[in-house]
Chain A
């Protein structure tokens, strides 16, 4: 019952928000947004306390992996909803009900993805997340956002179509094997009986399909344009929650492939995509002049790290699972802070935003801290997860991979630091005056920063337990 409520509640709220006409109902819409976001998180927390039984004949269930992504999405969404209160006071995107409704529909679709244990249902959820956020990318209705939304829709749709073909391949691999069709649990227990050639083909198509949605190189080309043009809070949801949902899709088929002993086939492929993504990210981060596009390439980098950890296996898988959480929270943090910078000047180009530490003291400080967090410096959580992945590379007999990753991470650090420090500490426009920052706009990033810092120092026991179980489900182990 709770599982269904978690999926359906945001969808009903989205419909209500669409139905509320006229500008004077704007406060009601905002109240619905924040209220539903809070209720959703409460429901998700109850899943941690009292694990629910699977419902809808096993199509909906909360396993460790799904629960992690769901909790990440729900937390990020509540923070973003509070930020939206402040954002909508400063900026009036055309079609306010489209904006709030799209956000809520996204939450519903992402919940379906997290809880779905039937691959076709998971696919429908991922498709729905794409469509729910498309109008939000296009909110400014100008040439640039049109180009961005066109690339986003075409590439995502092609990716999602190839993923569907991969799911059909998986159904073919399962033909004649006992068990419910396309239900994860039955696929995993019967993995040995699946037809290996079709399973391999299915893995490749799902990797390319969901990899496009994650933004793995070379299917990442929509990402900088979309993140660059979307409002920052939408960019934060995309880079933090949407990519994690797409990763969950990839993790599901990895779970099946690992159970079928196809590790020797899938791991080199994953390593290849991971290293390529890191390389592409490093190449485009150097010399980048737009901070939102910089964050988009940083997202490509972190998606690369996720599949790299999965490809290394062992404790690398644990590193990946932990990194999903860390990366999601850190991306939300940075995008919201950058959103404050962009709200102040109306541009995300570095040249227009120098000296943020003086003009926006709180956001400026959070931006500099965020730079260190997102590049994996101690004591933030991302250091821990990236270090675990590196340890897996060295321990697993891949010293060259470890060396290459270290080099690329160093290049990325230099590139990101150059741009972000220019924005934070550069000489501000002499006419610029310090702005009084709204609490609504700084609360979110502060909460996320505290969470990322906490995960670097201390991981609570229940979280640790779920992380370890998720890593084991993916064929890895706890360190």
Chain B
């Protein structure tokens, strides 16, 4: 059973690069939905025995990260009629390269920070990669919606790390991450909706009236 979690984590990394390499917002959202689904099945694959807690966590994660939030973002791009990311601050090829650098860096850091218990050893580097690529998307893309996708990836990375602690600190994952993703994106979504009405576009780079 060791290969199933490894394969899942590999697909998580691939979904990160899918977001980095595409201009279509709908593809970004699909990639992050797939990532959410993979994150949802991971607790099942990693658990030594199936408890009610694990099943609850898994179902909850899939519902929020793979269904509700992507659906909400899809609704937002239809409402706002935005399809493509335009001229990111860092080009697509360069950001793919930066993503590869992040991957290497994550493995280097993870090698220096040993997990205290015998655990799926890929969790930490994949988690750090997802956090870094999420931050990259958040900071280098112009469209408010792509930034929300980046934020979701950042949260997904943190969730992956939380999986290493799921058994020693119960409910940290559930209460923290799900609530945060849900409320955070919900509020951001409302704001995104307003940005659209006020500015006729979801280009957060045009939010530049307040400056010194």
Q: Which residues does A use to contact B, with CB under 8 Å?
A: 120, 123-124, 127, 131, 134, 138, 141-144, 146-151, 153-154, 157-158, 160-161, 164-165, 167-169, 171-172, 175-176, 181-182, 195, 197-198, 201, 224-225, 228-229, 284, 288, 293
Contact = CB atoms under 8 A, between A and B. Distances in A.
A124 B175 CA distance: 8
Contacts of B164: 168, 172
Contacts of B24: none
B176 interface: yes
B191 interface: yes
Interface string B185-196: 001100100110
Given A120-B175, A147-B210, A175-B117, 10 more contacts: A120-B169, A131-B183, A131-B187, A153-B187, A153-B191, A154-B147, A164-B176, A168-B165, A182-B169, A228-B210
A52 to B, nearest CB: 25
A67 B99 CA distance: 45
Contacts of B209: 143-144, 147
A168 B191 contact: no
B115 interface: yes
Report the 5 A-B pairs with minimum CB-CB distance, sorted nearest first.
A175-B116, A147-B207, A225-B210, A171-B165, A181-B169
Contacts of A224: 210, 212
Given A171-B165, A171-B168, A165 B131 contact: yes
B112 A197 contact: yes
6 contacts: A120-B172, A124-B176, A127-B183, A138-B194, A154-B138, A164-B176
B12 interface: no
Nearest to A143: B198
Nearest to A157: B184
A149 B191 contact: yes
Nearest to B144: A150
B135 A164 contact: no
A284 B162 CA distance: 39
Contact of A176 (B112, B116, B147, B175): B116
Contacts of B169: 120, 171, 181-182
Contacts of A143: 198-199, 209
A178 to B, nearest CB: 12
Contacts of B179: 124, 127
A155 to B, nearest CB: 10
A172 B165 contact: yes
Given A165-B161, A176-B117, A195-B116, A158 B154 contact: yes
Interface residues of B, number: 42
B158 interface: yes
A60 B176 CA distance: 18
Contacts of A176: 116-117
B117 A153 contact: no
Contacts of B161: 165, 168-169
Residue of B144, B154, B169, B198 ringed by the most chain A CB atoms within 10 A: B169
B148 to A, nearest CB: 9
A120 B176 contact: yes
Contacts of B138: 154, 158
A354 B192 CA distance: 38
Contacts of A181: 168-169
B191 A161 contact: no
Contacts of A147: 207-210
A172 B184 CA distance: 26
A146 B112 contact: no
Contacts of A120: 169, 172, 175-176
A147 B207 CA distance: 6
B212 A127 contact: no
B121 interface: no
B191 A150 contact: yes
A284 B212 contact: yes
Contact of B158 (A142, A144, A151, A161): A161
A161 B160 CA distance: 13
B7 interface: no
A150 B207 contact: yes
Contacts of B1: none
B151 interface: yes
Interface in B4-29: none
Residue of B151, B165, B194 ringed by the most chain A CB atoms within 10 A: B165
A145 B180 CA distance: 23
Nearest to A198: B113
A150 B195 contact: yes
A160 B180 contact: yes
Interface string B153-182: 011011001101100110010011101100
B210 A175 contact: no
Contact of B172 (A149, A157, A171, A284): A171
Contacts of B201: none
A229 B207 CA distance: 14
